[in-house]
Amino acid sequence: LRVKTLLQMVGDAAAGMEYLESKCCIHRDLAARNCLVTEKNVLKISDFGMSREEADGVYASSGGLRQVPVKWTAPEALNYGRYSSESDVWSFGILLWETFSLGASPYPNLSNQQTREFVEKGGRLPCPELCPDAVFRLMEQCWAYEPGQRPNFSTIYQELQSIRKRHR
């Protein structure tokens, strides 16, 4: 896969998530494993089994961590059960990383608990070899510890479109 194709695919993912965000829908399980790709390389968000629609855009989970995909989940969701579009943005940053590392698993040498501790101490995934610098900067914004510091999906989509145009 060429970088241009990867940029198109993550742009499709951002457009889908922008739509969900506009409908106050929180996916809660955004990851490469939950994306479908058509024969024309159009990416579609799938697996809405964990998604929730909330009028205020925030879903508070009282359950434990039984089914939580820790390596894709934002700190505030892991620590406080607080899911929002901002926590989906964190997961989108991991999806970007998965895409530009051509399907590698995030934090491959860390257990779930080690990953949580690593992230809490400010650790983040490294830039994948194929990843344009501008995309990695966007990933880093998605991984801001404070949810309010992360871009929304409209901003992410616009930035990816801009990167794609510059990358031709």
CATH code where residue 140 lies: 1.10.510.10
Q: Provide mean pLDDT across the span 149-154.
A: 98
* Residue range 16-20: mean pLDDT, rounded: 95
Domain count, the chain: 1
Q: What is the mean pLDDT of residues 30-53?
A: 84
Question: Is the per-residue pLDDT at 54 higher than 70?
Answer: no
Q: Does residue 79 fall inside a structural domain? A: yes
Within a domain: 37: yes
Residue span of the structural domain in which 18 resides = 3-49+64-166
The backbone region for 81, taken as left when phi is positive above 0, alpha when psi lies in -120 to 50, beta otherwise, is left
For residue 27, CA distances in Å to 4, 31, 114 come to 26, 10, 25
pLDDT at 63: 56
58 lies in a domain? no
Which residue of the set 12, 29, 56, 88 is catalytic? Answer: 29
In this prediction, residues 138-162 reach a mean pLDDT of 98
Exposed, middle or buried, 113 (CB in 10 Å: 0-12/13-18/19+)? exposed
Q: Annotated catalytic, 12? A: no
Is 131 contained in some domain? yes
Structural domain includes residue 83: yes
